[in-house]
Amino acid sequence: MAIPEIYVKTKIGIGSNNLYKEFQDQNGELGYDNCWINYHSDFLSGTSSKIIRYREPLIFEPLFKKFKENLNSSDQLIIIGYGCKDEEINRIILENFDYKNKGSFMVNPYPGEKVSEVCEMLSSTLISENLENLHKEMF
């Protein structure tokens, strides 16, 4: 598998065939290499295919490493508007946040069955309010 040196995010309409990397050759002359491999989508969708991409080394692996570190070091957890349908995210939260000893809150004005289930697993306080009705005393 080829891994790019850096991550390049492009605007909509700019395809990976339009990317070039400037370099100096052995004579000091500038050259341009078509860097199609540096292109990387930053949108996750789907179910199982999305979870597989969580381990990609460019963005998602460092991002989820930081997510785990933050969960481990947090004094409390406030989850806002999450539908709880991503099993991998749920697993990461359960394994990395000390929900047995630290408080957590689930803010969702229309909690579905999955939200209620995860809320119960985390021993979270469910707050069925819209964002504009929240105030810090609720937490």
Position 121 scores a pLDDT of 95
Query: Is residue 59 over pLDDT 60?
Result: yes
Average pLDDT over residues 84-104: 95
Q: pLDDT digits over 4-33, tens only? A: 555 666 667 766 666 777 888 889 999 887
Helices (H), 46-107: 48-53, 60-73, 87-96
User: Which is higher by pLDDT, 100 or 2?
Assistant: 100
Output the pTM of the full model: 0.65
* Residue that wins the pLDDT comparison between 102 and 51: 102
pLDDT value, residue 55:
73
Handedness of CA 27, 30, 34, 39 (dihedral sign): positive
pLDDT of residue 122: 95
Q: What is the mean pLDDT of the chain?
A: 83
- Please state which CATH number belongs to domain 48-130: 3.40.50
Give pLDDT, residue 109: 94
Q: 114 is written with which tokens?
A: 């999955």
Statement: residue 125 has pLDDT above 90: yes
Domain ranges of the chain: 1-40, 48-130
Mean pLDDT on 28-55: 66
What contacts 125, CB < 8 A, 6 or more positions away?
103, 104, 105, 106
Q: Tell me: pLDDT of 42 over 90.
A: no
